[in-house]
Structure 1
Amino acid sequence: MFGDMMGMMNKLKEAQAKVEETKKRLNTVTLEEKSSDNLLSVNITANREIKNISISDELLKDKEQLEDYLILTLNKAIAQATKINEAELGAAAKDGLPNIPGMDMFK
């Protein structure tokens, strides 16, 4: 019984290490989201850290329009990054977890 517990504890530590490695790797995955007319571009990591925002001169003339563009494009970029982040971290956690009957959390 204790051997099984030690094995499970080791598996959990391995899973935690895989998740941490995945988090570090996701810092290097960069996504780009653009407005439909390409006047605004946002670069974001899969860990949802904004790296760059590019704004056309045309948008700088209209504060209200720029604010609208920023909200829409940033929200799309964050949603895209979140989708990748959750899928990658979920896969890393599932692969490293021990097989415990009744604990099928990631189905």
Structure 2
Amino acid sequence: MILTYIFSCYIIERYYSYMSEGFSIYRQRLLFLHSNLKSEMTMFGDMMKNMQSQQEEMQSTLKKIKVAVSKNGIAIEANAAREILNISIDKDLMEDKEQLEDMLIFAINDITQVIQQQEAVASQDMMSKVLPGGLAGLGDMFSK
């Protein structure tokens, strides 16, 4: 009877020691995962800040690129950030409303195409700066 009691006490003691060791290992793993997650979140936050600054840089670059289209008596000036800066209309077009509307549509469509081309060129330049040496050609993938 005493041997059974001693043996059961030994078993219980070993069980608790295994549990505490297991808990310790589990706790260490959790702390390790938490520290890795924290560093990854910091890295992700830094990457997002970097992307945001690059986007702001891209917008300021696009605002500096001026584009102009002159067609059938209508001249439109804009920048590559899709902001119309000036529209000039020939006096002869003022007499015919329908013709003026049609010419405005053509000129606006033309300036939109020119802006898209300038955006593509600027984004390719930006991607070539951001991507490492051999991967600079991947910038073309995003422009189409």
Change (3 A) 1:14 1:90: farther
Counterpart among 74, 84, 88 of residue 122 in structure 2: 88
Identity between Structure 1 and Structure 2 (%): 26
Code of the residue aligned with 1:58 in structure 2: it is D
Give the aligned length: 99
Greater share of helix? 2
CA RMSD of aligned residues (A): 3.1
Question: CA 1:96 to 1:9, structure 2 compared with 1: closer, same or farther past 3 Å?
Answer: farther
* Cα distance, 1:13 vs structure 2: 4.8
Q: Distance in 2 between matches of 1:19 and 1:98?
A: 18
Specify which structure has the bigger relative contact order, considering alpha-carbon pairs within 8 angstroms and separated by 6 or more residues.
1
Which amino acid counterpart does residue 40 of structure 1 have in structure 2?
A: I
Provide the rounded CA distance (Å) in 2 between the counterparts of 1:12 and 1:28.
25
How many angstroms apart in 1 are the aligned matches of 2:130 and 2:52? 8
Deviations 1:52-77 (A, max 9, x none): 10001100000000011000011001
Match of 2:54 in 1: 18
| TM norm structure 2 | 0.55
| 1:58 corresponding residue in structure 2 | 92
The structure with more radius of gyration: 2
TM-score by length of 1: 0.72
How far the C-alpha of 1:96 sits from its partner, in A, is: 1.4
Q: Which segments of 5 or more consecutive residues in structure 2 lack a partner in the other structure?
A: 1-35
What SS is found at the alignment partner of 1:27?
A: helix
